[in-house]
Structure 1
Amino acid sequence: MRGGRGSRGGAGRRNRPSPRERLLAGATELFTTEGIRVIGIDRILREADVAKASLYSLFGSKDNLVIAYLERLDEMWRANWDARVDGMDTPEEKILAFFDVCIAEQPQIGFRGSHFQNAAGEYPRPETDSEREIRATVARHREWVWETLRGLLVERECGQASLHANMLMVFLDGGLAGAKMAGNLTPLQTARDLARDLVYSDH
């Protein structure tokens, strides 16, 4: 009987996520629900059930863990958008998919708004290299969104692709911030309506 229990325990350990995955999962849960700066390293270690030495070995610092958390969110965001636009034929549909991803996500995360907006808000005046890299990671996500929107507008032969991409970013930012403040989808749905009117208007 002791051997049977040992085998099951060994299998459980083998199937357990790696310390890196546990740290990222724990950080994501805490940063998303409570914020970044308020969460200390010890709280993350307890959530992930990982030794402090492992965190420093894998990431070097809490700030580097924050960067990895944002990079993971960026990867997930791109994958969600790619999955939603799979099979769509028109650039207009693909543009509106950015709003649809947010509309689908916000109720699931309790209307906490944009992870990227929230992270930028916690580092308004970055002072260290790692804090500046946190802001740069947020900026790279936004650059991808803007470049993708602009590319779709160019595909649509929009004569003011950059201007309209800027307008769509304002709609998206405002919709996310409004949904967080209101605790419902109305601001995002309004933002989507504005985006629809813009992209289906005459060139």
Structure 2
Amino acid sequence: MVEGMTRGKPDNRPSEARLRLLATATRIFYSEGIHSVGVDRIIAEAKVTRATFYRHFPSKDDLILAYLREVHEMERGTVDAAIANDSSPVDPLLAIAGSIAQNIQSPGFRGCAFLNAAAEYPDMEHPVRQEIIAHRQWFLDTLSKLMAQVHPETADPAARRFVMLRDGAMAAGCLFDPALVSETFLHGVEDLLQPSADRPSTESID
């Protein structure tokens, strides 16, 4: 049987080399930044040849996009699990907030991978920037749908407020006590999910 084939069908699983390159890039890009890390270092730490690298990723930008898509899939998996396990309208939102708070307190936390990448890619037309925008739009759209079950009349502004709370917590978690930041963030989300009469108005948030 030809290697990579099973009963006449191609094996579409990513190669070990590609997985190793992506895992290496994900670790280093997140911990040290994107522009500061060169292809040579990725190749050396992943223990592959230069030819192998370019066979899987024609350019560094292709690797960066794969890195961001990998992070997106991880975050999407967490959100999908929260939605699947809901028992009341607020449960998925609380579960998402809980996973964010847990992430902030995790070892090696360095903020939001997408916000970090956005700071390095200010050009709105760059493919990396477009990938960041797509991820954040997915997150906002997902929150808006969930918020519609809690606050139907103010779902969109409430979802944007959740994103703002999350972004602030992700930034503050790198600067202050992560446990305190997480606690403050969770309280903010809990306040946001209270009945309209008991929470601050979101009408002015665009």
TM-score (norm 2): 0.82
Q: Which runs of 5+ in 2 are unaligned?
A: 1-14, 198-206
Would you say 1:184 and 2:178 are equivalent positions?
yes
Report the equivalent of 2:142: 148
Report the equivalent of 1:52: 50
Partner Cα separation in structure 2 for residue 187 and residue 90 of structure 1: 26
Shift of 1:157: 4.4
Partner Cα separation in structure 2 for residue 32 and residue 157 of structure 1: 35
- Preserved CA contact (<8 Å) 1:111 1:184: no
CA deviations on 1:20-68 (whole Å, 9 max, x unpaired) are: 1011011011111111110010000011111111221211101110000
Shift of 1:122: 1.2
1:89-168 aligned at under 5 Å gives the runs: 89-125=87-123, 132-168=126-162
Report the equivalent of 1:27: 25
Shift of 1:188: 2.9
Report the equivalent of 2:204: none
CA deviations on 1:156-190 (whole Å, 9 max, x unpaired) are: 24211111111111101001111112151322321
Percent identity of paired positions between Structure 1 and Structure 2: 34
Q: For the aligned residues, what is the CA RMSD?
A: 1.7
Indicate how the Cα distance of structure 1 residues 122 and 155 shifts in structure 2: closer, same or farther if over 3 A, else same: same
Report the equivalent of 1:64: 62
Report the equivalent of 2:11: none
Q: Which runs of 5+ in 1 are unaligned?
A: 1-16
Number of aligned residue pairs: 183
CA deviations on 1:63-97 (whole Å, 9 max, x unpaired) are: 11000000011001111222344322122121122
- Preserved CA contact (<8 Å) 1:172 1:188: no
Partner Cα separation in structure 2 for residue 90 and residue 46 of structure 1: 49
Q: Which 4+ residue blocks in structure 1 deviate beyond 3 angstroms?
A: none
Higher fraction of helix: 1
Partner Cα separation in structure 1 for residue 178 and residue 138 of structure 2: 26
TM-score (norm 1): 0.83
Q: Partner amino acid for 1:96?
A: L
Shift of 1:155: 2.0
Report the equivalent of 1:42: 40
